Amino acid sequence: MFLSLSIICLTVAVLLAQVNKMTAKPIADAKAMKLQNAISEVVPAFDNDPVAEAYRMPVGTGDSLLVYPAKKGDKVVGYAVNSSSNNGFSGEIQIMIGFDMEDRLINYAVLQHAETPGLGSKMTDWFKNKEKPSQSVIGRDLSQGALAVSKDGGEVDAITASTITSRAFLEAVNRAYQAYSESRENAYSGASPKNAAGKSNDEAGEIKKEDNSHE
């Protein structure tokens, strides 16, 4: 009996490993496509590869956010920022938020959440309702101050019966703006931000040249 159970367990383990191997690439491709679509949805039209040029920007809390620069030719037309908050009603909320070059929030796309269906899950559309400016964040100039729900003295109407989710959503938006603002300051000062691998874009270029010299 022990031998039979061992053989069965081994067989199942091998099958699971094979299934995982077969599905790993399609899952990764789907995630990459979702990321590309989210970036395209939240920033002005671009002709570069924001994912390839992504870098991390500190947000002053010992944390950093991924920033995706959108360019038209050599000109930056906007930034998409992958932001999040751990203070949602059911845990982490992850959002892609886009800004133009005039501090305005262009659009957002919810990437991940576990909020209550029919309540907190409404954030997918609630904060982009053009018919109700008091609840929409689209087009807002965040240089005028951080966003907050009206219950906290802000100007944004919270999702009905989902104030906690709304606060977490706006927290993610404010963190994204901080990363965006730092990115613009670096662009103006000529500083080279850290790429997704943790090196500056200039350092990455030098390393690439050195690697090519050994080929």
User: Domain containing 165: what range?
Assistant: 46-201
Q: How many separate helices (H) and strands (E) can be counted in the chain? A: 4, 6
Question: Does the residue 212 lie in any domain?
Answer: no
- Number of structural domains, the chain? 1
Strands 75-88 and 105-112: unpaired
Question: Does the residue 5 lie in any domain?
Answer: no
Residue 199 in this model has a pLDDT that exceeds 70 = no
pLDDT digits (tens, 9 = 90+) for 45-86: 999 999 999 999 998 778 899 999 999 998 999 999 999 999
Question: Does the residue 160 lie in any domain?
Answer: yes
In sequence order, which residues have a C-beta less than 8 Å from that of residue 47 and are 6 or more positions away? 71, 72, 73
**What whole-number distance in Å separates Cα of residue 66 and Cα of residue 96?**
10
Render the burial of 157-168: b for 16+ CB within 10 Å, e for the rest: bbbeebbbbbbb
pLDDT digits (tens, 9 = 90+) for 97-154: 999 999 999 999 999 999 999 999 999 999 999 899 999 999 999 999 999 999 999 9
Task: Answer for the pair 67, 180: CB distance below 8 angstroms, yes or no.
Answer: yes
Question: Does the residue 10 lie in any domain?
Answer: no
| Closest residue by Cα to residue 81 from 61, 70, 91, 96 | 96
Question: Does the residue 185 lie in any domain?
Answer: yes
